[in-house]
Amino acid sequence: MRPSLRDAGRVLLRLRQLDVKAREVNRQRCEAAFLFVLLCVVTLAARLWYLQIVKGTELRARSEHNRVRLVRLQPPRGKLLDRSGRLLVGNQPCFNVCLVREEAKDVEDLLGRLSVLLEEPVGALRERLILGRRLPLYTPIVLKRGIDRDTLARLEPRLFRLPGVSVEVEPLRKYPHGRLASHLLGYLAEVNEAELAKGIYPGVRPGDLVGRAGVEAQYQKVLSGRSGVRRVEVDATGRLARVLDETPPLPGSDLFLTLDLDLQEEAERAMRGKVGAVVALDPRNGCIRAFTSVPEYDLEPFAWGLTPAQWRALNDARTRPLQDKAVQGLYSPGSIFKIVAAVAALETGRLAPQTRLTCTGSFRLGRRVFRCWDRRGHGEPDLYEALVASCDVFFYQAGLMVGVDELARYARAFGFGRATGIALEDEKAGLVPDRAWKLERYGKPWQDGETAIMAIGQGFTLVTPLQLAEMIAAIANGGTFYRPLYVDRERSPSGRVRPGDAPEVVGRLDVRPETLRLVRRALRGVVADEEGTGHACRLPDVAVAGKTATVQVVQQSRRGQLEELPWNLRDHAIFIAYAPAEAPELAVAVLVEHGGHGGSAAAPIARRLFETWFRGRPGGEGRGRG
């Protein structure tokens, strides 16, 4: 049966519909394919952007450090020199064992093998590794600082078996004069985790050395310089193949201190075997010429790491080596305080220069008897004679006339009870007691007997050796107190010299000129007169003025047995002085713990300092010493 035209039309229509549908399907498939391709391109582009832009620096560093290592170059620390340019502290090369964690296959195994080679406990090595965990994996961490040449010779042939381990060179402090001025110069030690977390030292990394005390701490920024970097190529074992490029480090600036090396060495020789402090100042500007606290201590071990035995020795309760006795040691001033009592008596009008008081060798106050150091008595001395002979009984009476609060006021005028302002850590202010202080501290009223012993420098009053040096310097220069200075000038790596801090006046002794003249004349008599207690500081060509003090450590009732007492119960010896008497250029304070009498134990030490200072200079006119 032949199909009709109608059927043929239907078939044709159906074919057309199928063709349109097929085209739509093809179009959708093309669009889907295009979207898929576009999505892939966008994804790849996004990934490429992430890798190149976001993580590019890190990934490039990782890739490069598979063969290139960045070696940090530590800058040489600025040198410390005396005022004439003589070296006090320099630098020397030091070999450090380092570990790059990225190259280490088995860290614990490495630490175990290094422990044997370095003769260092595994725990100590692990602690250093933990401290450096903040650093990138490719940065070397110092595991052991300052290995000796024998250890280096033992380690180097084995480095190829220790992936990630290397030996780096670092400049470390060198002390050509050993323990000289250790408390003033200070030491270096590794920065700790707490300091790193607080960001106390900008640019410092785990394992770096920073100043911990003295000049090294106070001038950390000036001395430390700026690190450099060297890019090196290493082989498969981590050994150096070649240097690619280098940015050199910038050394720290050198500091010229106000110290005089000859004077400092003589002070330390004179104090050898003793415990105490010596401070020498230029009374014209406050510059420190010698600064000694004994016993001293070795500065190098702090950088290497102290052994338990070294730490125990430094914490010896008897001699306290770590204590800077010049600024942290607190002592009764003894007869030095008689200067304060004399000035207070004159300035308040309680005594005149010609007033005489009786000394029979003792003084009764109520039921107590206060004795003079000379049991025979001093007769009827005036103020000048009492200062020269250091008569206790005279000043018991003078102190009672003046009263505790006036004594305290003039003690503060002499700089007692306040810090001197020297740029050193933990300086003590000392103590000047008065009625209000005792009532607040002990809840008890002040007693007359306490005033009597305060006038001769016993009781509650406490001072530092530096305060004593400041006191005698102010008397020497006419009443001006300068902030103690120890940096004369600074020299940059380029050779540019910048002056240190200018002399700074921090106080003035507000007393009449005639009062100060009498005190100065009496201090000259302490050394020059036959009755004086400071004979041991006489010099043939230079006039010296000074004052002795013997500070009781035990009660007077036991003083008859003093020579038989243990060392730690014997008297402290003090001597303060200046010279030349008419044109002072050096003021000295000497304190010898448990040394005995000031005139016999401390005055000879001051004499040695003056002899050194004026050597070859007849008359002590001060030529060339500015």
**Residues belonging to the active site:** 335
Query: Is cis: bond before 353, omega within 30 of 0?
Result: no
CA 419 to chain CA centroid, nearest Å:
16
Query: Is cis: bond before 333, omega within 30 of 0?
Result: no
User: What's the token pair of residue 595?
Assistant: 């040394």
* For the chain, counts of helices (H) and of strands (E): 22, 21
- Per the CB < 8 A criterion, the answer to whether 538 and 577 are in contact is no
Which amino acid would we find at residue 444? K
Q: Of how many residues is the chain composed? A: 626
Distance CA 385, CA 522 (A): 7
As a whole number of Å, the CA-based R_g of the chain is: 38
**How many CA atoms within 13 Å lie on the side-chain side of 490?**
14
Among all chains, which residue has been given the structure tokens 């008689």?
Answer: 338
Burial 377-416 (b: 16+ CB within 10 A, else e): bbeebbbbbbbbbbbbbbbbbbbbbbbbebbbbbbebbbb
Distance CA 2, CA 408 (A): 142
Distance CA 251, CA 249 (A): 6
Distance CA 282, CA 509 (A): 17
C-alpha angle 316/318/320, rounded to 5°? 55
Distance CA 484, CA 415 (A): 13
User: What's the token pair of residue 117?
Assistant: 């080679």
Determine phi and psi for 104, rounding to 5 degrees.
Answer: -85, 125
Which of 317, 555, 286, 304 lies closest to 421 in space, CA to CA?
286
Answer positive or negative: Cα dihedral of 503, 590, 300, 302.
negative
Distance CA 518, CA 539 (A): 22
